[in-house]
Amino acid sequence: MLIEFAKDIAYAAGRVLRDTLVEGLSVEHKGEIDLVTDADRAAEALIVEAIQHQFPDHKILAEEEGAVGPASSTSQWVVDPLDGTTNFAHRFPYFSVSTAFLQDDELLLGVVYDPMADEMYTAVRGEGAWLNDHPIAVSYTDTLQRSLLATGFPYNVASTDRDNVEEYRHLVRRTQGVLRLGSAALDLCQVAAGRLDGFWEFELKPWDTAAGALIVQEAGGTVTTLDGKTFSIESGEVLASNGRLHDPLIQALEASRHGEC
Average pLDDT of the chain to the nearest whole number: 92
What would the mean pLDDT of 251-257 be, rounded to a whole number? 94
pLDDT at 211 over 70: yes
Q: Is the pLDDT of residue 31 over 80?
A: no
Q: What confidence tier does 1 reach under pLDDT thresholds 50, 70, 90?
A: confident
What pLDDT score does 260 carry?
65
Q: Report the candidate in 219, 220, 255, 246 with the shortest Cα–Cα distance to residue 142.
A: 246
pLDDT greater than 60 at residue 32: no
The yes-or-no verdict on residue 24 having pLDDT over 80 is: no
Whether this prediction's pTM lies above 0.85 is answered by: yes
Q: What is the pLDDT of residue 184?
A: 98
Per-residue pLDDT, 240: 98
Share of residues in the chain with pLDDT > 90 (%) = 81
CATH class of domain segment(s) 2-135 = alpha beta
Query: How would residue 67 be classed by pLDDT, with cut points 50, 70 and 90?
Result: very high
The residue that leads in pLDDT, 235 or 27, is 235
- Cα 15 to Cα 8: distance, rounded to the nearest angstrom: 11
Asked whether residue 36 carries a pLDDT value surpassing 60, the answer given is no
Topology classification of domain 144-257: D-Maltodextrin-Binding Protein; domain 2 (3.40.190)
* Chain segment 103-138, per-residue pLDDT in tens: 999 999 999 999 999 999 999 999 999 999 999 999
Domain ranges of the chain: 2-135, 144-257
At a CB cut-off of 8 Å and minimum separation 6, what does 85 contact?
A: 35, 36, 37, 40, 95
Average pLDDT value for residue range 4-13: 98
pLDDT in tens, 137-177: 999 999 999 999 999 998 666 656 778 999 999 999 999 99
* Cα-based distances in Å from 41 to 37, 167, 258: 7, 33, 41
On the question of pLDDT at 81 being above 80, the answer is yes
DSSP-assigned beta bridge partners for residue 131: 121, 134
